[in-house]
Every structure is written in C-alpha cells, then in structure tokens.
Structure 1
Amino acid sequence: MSARPLVFLVAACLAGGAAAQDLDHACRVASTYDLTVRPDALLFEREGVAPHAVRMHDGSLATDGRAVGLRPDEQDRVALFEARVRALVPKAKAIATDGVDVAARAVRDEALSAAPDAVASGDFDRVLNARVADIKRRIAASQSTRDWQEDAMRAYAQEIVSDIAPVLTQDVGGQAMQMALNGDLQGAAALRDRVASVTTGGQARVVAKLRSSLEPRVRALCPSLRELEDLQSGLRDASGQPLRLLEPSE
C-alpha cells in the first residue's frame, strides 16, 4: 500500500503525489491511511490491513467500530493528537492556496513567452483565473486526503490544461496559418511548438517554481508530524495491537 501524507493538501502545494513522497522522505514520517477531518471526529481509513477505520474524538478512540479502553493519560494523548491535526489543517490549506497562485503565475509566464498575443487579449487570464478560483474553493471545502492524492492532482492539472489550451491554440493557430500562407512553414511550426511546450515541457518548469517557493514552508510542518508520531506511541487498537497511524519512512 502506498504512503499517503497525513496532513492533507500538502501534496497539492508541491504539485501532486510525487512531491508528497518527497515530503515523506524529508520528514521521515508517512501514513497508509486516508484522513477525513469531520466536525465531530477524525476518521482514518485504509484498505487491506486492519484496522481499516480509526476514529478519534475528544479523547475517545475506536478502531473498526470497537471502542478502545483508555487510561486518563492515553485519553489526553488522543485528545492532543486530534487537536494537533486540526491545528495543522488551516496551515496546510494556506500553503496549498498559495501554491495555486504560484502555479497560476508560472503557467501565465509560460504562456506569455509562447503566445504573448493570446495573453494580452485578456481571454487567457479570464479562463485561468476562473479555474484558479474553482480550485481554491475545492481546497477550502476539502475535508479528506482523497481529494489531493496523485490521481486527483493529475485530474485538476488536466482541467487547467483543457481550459487554457483552446485559448492559446485559437490565437496561435491563426498566426501560424498566416505564416504558412506567407511561405514561412518553419516559423509556423516553431510557433505551434512553443504553445505545445506550455502544456508539456512547461510542466517541469512550473513544478520547479512551486518547489523553490513552497517547499521550505512544507518542510516546516515536519516537526508537527513527528510530534504526532510521538503522541501515538503506546496507543493500541481494539485488538491490543500498537496503533500505527504514522510510520517512519525511508
């Protein structure tokens, strides 16, 4: 089972699941659970290995629907664990939201170098800003790591590409056609290649800007993740086995 980041949205701010793995390596803490932060509880869920569901709320703990008997000091640990996770959520969301802005600026820079006329028309910014606003709304509303795993991030990225590509190709297509009619076939091909690079080769440059801008803030969450790992120490599930919501990663 692949490791998922405990604090959701961290993957988003570093452009997807591969970057989330980088965070796992940097912090040396990972989780095999999906986390849902509900108003009434924290819910950790996974397939394959039991316990499949772990519920925490106000010092209580249940695994796979069975309440776990806790000493007073263990109740305090569970309550503090929940409080620490909830405190991390707005921090992670703030980084993710800023990450969307960084990515949008980087994408715009790529488009500006490839098709300045398309950007100057205002259509590109209108389409890009609408998609950015939509993703920010999803971040604000999200309660689960499932929204920000690698497949989901790829889908969100594809939505952006699907939105902006027609704007670029429509503008550049006309220019390339005119160049071709004037006999400049090489120039027409080069123009189309520059636009194609925004949705292909430009991805690496966008991710690089995200990393340089946001990775220090993401790494700053590592001490909080390690604190959570310490807080779970000694806790057991309803079957008496050690509870491993977080595990050391290589």
Structure 2
Amino acid sequence: MRAASLAFVVAACFAGGAAAQDLGTTCNLASTYDLTVRPEGLAFDRADVAPRSVRMHDGNLTTDGSAVSLRPDEQDRVALFESQVRTLLPKVKALASDGVDIAARAVRQEAATAAPGAASSGELDQALNSRVADIKRRIAASQSTKDWQEDAMREYAQEIVSDIMPILTQDVGGEAMQLAMNGDLQGAAALRDRVAGVSNGAQERVAAKVTAALRPRVQALCPQVRQLGELQSGLHDASGRPLVLLESGN
C-alpha cells in the first residue's frame, strides 16, 4: 500500500518546511560553527579547520584554548557581538518553533487528504499535536543551534513518522482492503492514485506555506545578522588569522 510512501513524504515535508526559511540563506550570511549560548559566554565549535573552538564573554575572546589579546575597541566589539547574539537567540528560536507549527498544520492537511478517516477519528491530530508540543518544548529549552537546524528537524520529522505511520497505514490499508474485498478493484486503484497524488509535490507545497508565512520575520532580522558580520571584521584568532564566524554567501 502507499501509506508508507505518504509517511515518508510527510517526514520530508516537515523537515524541509521547518528549515525552509534559513537565516543564512535569506540574509546571505552563514556559519560553519555550531553556536551554544551559555550564561558564561558564547561557544562556537566545529569539527575541522582552525580555530575549532571560539569563546566570547564580557569582551574577552579565546580561540582553541588561547586568549586573544584585544585592544579596547576590539573588546567593545566582542562584547557587542555577544550582546547581539543573545538578543537574536529568542527571536530565531521563535521562528523555528512557529515554523514547526506551520509545517505541522500543512502536513496534517496533506495527510488528511489521503487518509480522511484518520483525520476524522482524531487520532492523527492527537499524535501530531503531542509530538509537535514535545519538539517545541525541546526547541524552547535548547541553547544550541544544533537543536533547530535542518538536521535536527529531520530527526524530529522521523519521530513524527513513527507516531503517525501506524494511523495512516491502518486507515489507507483498511479502506483499500475493504474496497478490494467488495470487488471494487477500480476503487482500490483510485485510492492508490489519490495517495500518490498527495505525495507528489507535497514537500514543495508545505515548504511554500512555511516560506510565505515566515519570510517577512526572517527578513526583519537580517540587519541584526549583518551587523554581526560587521562586528567580526578585523578580529583575529590567537594565531593571528582573521576570525570568520559568519561568511558571506557571495
């Protein structure tokens, strides 16, 4: 049956949609670092290419465990960089959380078109709402960008699939089986075509809804993101190399 295919597309929709309005893409600045915001400072980490570890707090800068000597004006810029990041964090988390909500509603619409019985029974809503609430709690509690970037959204999507897959399989499979047992092979075939029709293009439709809803809010944050790029200009790591926490997409 095509319920498994539908569930896979639901996962792709959720992951793609929730990550569609990425600050880096929209504002033309991105980072190769994972950022963790702690009370004791900002922590930037990546697996390769030095500096692998960058720490900022109260105008102090450390790279790969070595303190960087800073002029007073550079200390001011480091302090302002940290302050700006702390101001941006709740706004970015709110975008991720709202993106999850929007994507989930759109996914429900797609799934309900192919499996109306599951939607009308309330099982689909219950499973989806419970999982979405859990994901949003994790995003709210998180202090690391790793928890709301695209890879994380894909993991969240797989959790949703594990919840809704049995519901979709039971609904679509049961309906098709009943049609076939009643001799309505044409109806069973039409059901398969309906599910396939929902699956085709579903990811693009969900992503488009999230993008349209969040674009103005993402664009509104771009000046603050670009200011971070300006603040890092001229800063160096402990070895004298330019410090590039944010990179232009050009």
TM-score (norm 1): 0.87
Residue 241 (structure 2) pairs with residue 241 (structure 1): yes
CA deviation vs aligned residue, 1:124-145 (integer Å, no higher than 9, x gap): 1110011101110111122212
1:139 paired with 2:173, answer: no
In the alignment, is the contact (CA less than 8 A) between 2:131 and 2:160 conserved in 1? yes
Residue identity matched to 1:247: E
Instruction: Report if the CA contact (8 A) 2:26-2:218 is conserved.
Output: no
CA distance in 2, matches of 1:231, 1:14: 31
Hey, what does 1:9 align to over in structure 2? none
Q: Which amino acid aligns with 1:154?
A: R
Deviation at 1:14, TM superposition (A): 4.9
- Aligned-partner Cα distance in 1 for 2:92–2:246: 17
SS in 2 for 1:240: coil
Q: Which residue of 2 aligns with 1:90?
A: 90
* Pair 1:15 & 2:36 matched: no
Partner of 1:214: 214
1:222 Cα deviation after fit: 1.2
Matching of residue 158 in structure 1 with residue 161 in structure 2: no
1:243–1:14 Cα change, 3 Å = farther
1:168 counterpart letter in structure 2: L
Distance 1:205 1:162, change over 3 A: farther
User: What is the rounded CA distance, in whole Å, between the counterparts of 1:197 and 1:170 in structure 2?
Assistant: 19
Gap regions ≥5 residues in structure 1: 1-11
Who is 2:7 aligned against? none
1:104-162 Cα deviation digits (max 9, x unpaired) = 11111112222222111111111001110111011112221222343322221122122
Question: How far off is 1:186 after superposition?
Answer: 2.5
Inter-CA distance 117–34: structure 2 relative to 1 (3 Å threshold): same
Name the SS of the counterpart of 1:78 in structure 2: helix
Contact 1:33 1:245 in 2 (8 A): yes
- Which letter maps to 2:117? D
The answer on whether the counterparts of 1:61 and 1:78 sit within 8 Å (CA) in structure 2 is yes
Higher RCO (CA-CA < 8 Å; seq separation 6+)? 2
